[in-house]
Amino acid sequence: MELRIAKTYLSQGIQIVSKAVPNKTTMSILECILIDASGEDIRLIANDMELGIETHVPGIIIERGIIAVDAQIFANIVRKLPEDDVTILTEGEKITILCQKAKFTILGKDGADFAYLPEIERRVEVQVSQYTLRDMINRTIFSISGNESSGMMTGELMEIRDNHFRMVALDGHRIAIRNVELPSSYEDRKVIVPGKTMSEISKILSGDTDKFVNIYFTDKHALFSFDDTIVVTRLIDGDYYRVDKMLSTSYETKVTVQRRELLNCIDRATLLVKEEDKKPVIFMIGEDNMELKINTTLGSMDEVIEIDKEGADMNIGFNPKFLIDALRAIDDEEVTMYMMSPKAPCYIRDDEGNYCYLILPVNFITIE
What is the C-alpha separation between 145 and 157, in angstroms, rounded? 13
Question: In this structure, are residues 85 and 7 in contact, taking their beta carbons and an 8 Å threshold?
Answer: yes
Q: What is the smallest separation between the CB atom of 279 and a copy of itself, expressed in angstroms?
A: 14
Q: Are strands 60-63 and 102-107 parallel, antiparallel or unpaired?
A: unpaired
Mark the segment that binds a copy of itself (CB under 8 A) among 134-142, 156-164, 265-273, 335-343.
265-273
User: Quick check: 131 binds a copy of itself (CB under 8 A)?
Assistant: no
Name the residue nearer to a copy of itself (CB basis): 66 or 294: 294
Are 158 and 193 a contacting pair, CB within 8 Å? yes
DSSP code per residue over 209-232: SSSEEEEEE-SSEEEEEETTEEEE
Contact between 323 and a copy of itself by CB under 8 A: the answer reads: no
73 touches a copy of itself (CB under 8 A): yes
By rule CB under 8 A, what string of x and - marks binding of each residue 268-307 to a copy of itself? x--xx-------------------------xxxxxxxx--
CB atoms within 10 A of CB 35: 28
The residue among 134 and 259 lying less far from a copy of itself, judged by its C-beta, is 259
| SS3 assignment, position 141 | helix
When asked if residue 211 is in the footprint of a copy of itself (CB under 8 A), the reply is: no
- How far apart are CB 297 and a copy of itself at their closest, in Å? 10
Near a copy of itself by CB under 8 A: residue from 264, 315, 341, 354: 264
Counting contacts by CB under 8 A, is residue 104 touching a copy of itself? yes
Question: Among residues 69 and 213, whose Cβ is nearest to a copy of itself?
Answer: 69
Q: Does 77 bind a copy of itself (CB under 8 A)?
A: yes
Q: Is 188 exposed, middle or buried (0-12, 13-18, 19+ CB in 10 A)?
A: exposed
For the sheet with 253-258, list strands across it. 155-170, 174-194, 355-359, 346-349, 334-339, 253-258, 308-311
- Cα–Cα distance for residue pair 128/111, rounded to 1 Å: 34
CA neighbours closer than 13 Å in the CB half-sphere of residue 333: 0
**Near a copy of itself by CB under 8 A: residue from 20, 21, 81, 192:** 81
Residue 80, interface with a copy of itself (CB under 8 A)?
Answer: yes
Measured from the CB of residue 104, what is the shortest distance to a copy of itself in angstroms?
A: 5
Please count the residues of this chain forming the interface with a copy of itself, following the rule CB under 8 A. 27
CB 156 within 8 A of CB 166: no
Q: Which uninterrupted H or E stretch holds 255?
A: strand 253-258
Alpha carbons within 13 A on the beta-carbon side of 20: 34
Q: Examine residue 103 and tell whether it contacts a copy of itself (CB under 8 A).
A: yes
The yes or no reply on residue 28 touching a copy of itself (CB under 8 A) is: no
Among 23, 40, 101, 112, contact with a copy of itself (rule: CB under 8 A): 101
Q: Is 32 in the site for a copy of itself (CB under 8 A)?
A: no
Q: Which residues bind a copy of itself (CB under 8 A)?
A: 73, 76-77, 80-82, 101-107, 264-265, 267-268, 271-272, 298-305
